Chains A and B, each alone.
Chain A
Amino acid sequence: MGAPHRVVVTGLGVVSAIGNDLKTFWESLCAGQHGFREIELVDTSTLQFQVGAEVRDLDLETPFDDSVSSLLDRFARLWLLAARQAVEASGIASKDLQDAAVITGTALGGQTTQDELFVALYRENKRRLTPFAVPRIMPSSGASQASMELGIEGPGMTISTACSSSNHAIGMAYWMVAHGAAPVALTGGSEAPFSLGHLKAWDAMRVMAPERCRPFSRDRKGLVLGEGGAALILEELDHARARGAHIHAEVRGFGMSSDAGHITRPSAKGAARAIAASLADSGLNPHEVEYVNAHGTGTLLNDSTESEALASVFGDHAATLLVSSTKSMHGHTLGATGAIEAVVTTLALENGVVPPTAGYLGPDPECPLDVVPNTAREKAIRHAISDSFAFGGLNAVLVLSRWDGA
């Protein structure tokens, strides 16, 4: 609303349980292929759940120089590999990255390292820890490492708002580019949630699905944790045109809200407020939105609450929306999920295909939506939103639009 610059997406990168490159990721989404397997990174024998969406078949060691490798937690590796993909695909020159912003999101940062060090300290009675502990654990290390590797000298920061982290990051990056704080932004997020300490914490919440995540479905039993990273290059439109960049989609708006409610129970009012704010920022009318990439965690409460929020913002139009939760395939990647789903939404707009909600068993009357059950649908959509609603009620919603060349 009144921003001086239009902002477009000119690069995408992703690593996830359903693909470690954009093409594989998109093919999995279109095929309704999920990435839920028995967890290998952690001994799950004392947990009530054994399934996760781990990144597999990806070399996380040799892509990093020895001088840097010892400084990188798993979450930073996932982020940097996604970021490299996005930068390379965008074709942006090093000199154009100098003034760029780098804005990342993560809920947990280097908790894998922290968990390992706690084992060393408290179980193995080690007396000293590696001097690399602090640079590995700090949640902003992803942004810092990207800045160092790519020579990014513009604004840099990391946002941590639980499951909304990377949607907030992308939203901030969007507003920075729209308002002239930087001509280009490398943004997105990553998460590596698989440590015993962290999985135990989720086990205690009793929201974990035993086999797979079935958002909006009857008999859904909760979420499945996933890991991954996703990166987007956001660019001021004239800047992108001047260098002849390929444009995937336009970032059209961003909205936020806080529930002022409960630390874990979601609020339809808070979610609706964020959606409405994103639409107001975009200048679109609600009836112009055709696709919603839902937060859709697969918990009883999230999905019914999100359905209620959509009904309150969109009214009768809610029944005509296509709403899918791709967490049914890539899992809930916490602080990375907004970024992964922004990539999904961008690809859906660009390809005219809406990925499904996989694992759907049948309707739940509390979720009266067209959730694109189990099978992708071809539809040339013009405008879409991507929801993130975090524990603690910090909500963030992006609006993305198809790029038609004008």
Chain B
Amino acid sequence: MDREQIATQVIARIAKMQKTSPDKISVDSTFEELGVDSLNGLELLWELEEELEIVIPDDDAREIAKVSDVIAVVEPLLAKKS
């Protein structure tokens, strides 16, 4: 899965969670702008872990505040898996 595919998947999940269109979300969007609170953020990471069969370390999760942060954390974990 390349970076763009990861971005599409992450954005689709957030769009579903926040009941909005993926067109309204970019990789630069912050969780604050999107109304993703701390618990929604945990839910998002948990769904990605389940779907992609990865484990996102707490230290990485702590730093996540925007869509691009999620991608930056997920990409190397997927690369390591394959």
User: A and B: real partners?
Assistant: yes
Name A residues whose Cβ lies closer than 8 Å to a Cβ of B: 48-49, 204-206, 208, 210, 221-222, 262-265, 300-301
Contacting residues, chain B, for A49 (C-beta < 8 A): 58
Whether B58 contacts A208 by the Cβ 8 Å rule is yes
Contacting residues, chain B, for A222 (C-beta < 8 A): 58
22 of the cross-chain contacts (CB-CB < 8 Å) are A48-B55, A48-B57, A48-B58, A49-B58, A204-B42, A204-B46, A205-B42, A206-B42, A206-B58, A206-B61, A206-B62, A208-B58, A210-B58, A221-B58, A221-B59, A221-B62, A222-B58, A262-B37, A263-B39, A264-B39, A265-B39, A300-B62
User: Considering the complex of A and B, which 3 residue pairs feature the smallest CB-CB distances, nearest first?
Assistant: A206-B58, A48-B58, A206-B61
- How many of chain B's residues have a CB under 8 angstroms from any CB in A? 12
Q: Is B8 an interface residue (CB 8 A)?
A: no
CB of A302 to closest CB in B, whole Å: 12
Contacting residues, chain A, for B45 (C-beta < 8 A): 206
Contacting residues, chain A, for B37 (C-beta < 8 A): 262, 265
Interface of B is mostly: helix
Q: Is B38 an interface residue (CB 8 A)?
A: yes
Interface of A is mostly: loop
CB nearest neighbor in B for A264: B39
CB of A268 to closest CB in B, whole Å: 16
A313 and B35 CA atoms in complex are apart in Å by: 30
Whether B38 contacts A264 by the Cβ 8 Å rule is yes
Contacting residues, chain B, for A264 (C-beta < 8 A): 38-39
A205 and B37 CA atoms in complex are apart in Å by: 13
CB of B65 to closest CB in A, whole Å: 12
Whether A265 contacts B38 by the Cβ 8 Å rule is yes
A301 and B55 CA atoms in complex are apart in Å by: 24
0/1 string, B26-69, CB within 8 A of A gives 1: 00000000000111001001100000000101110110000000
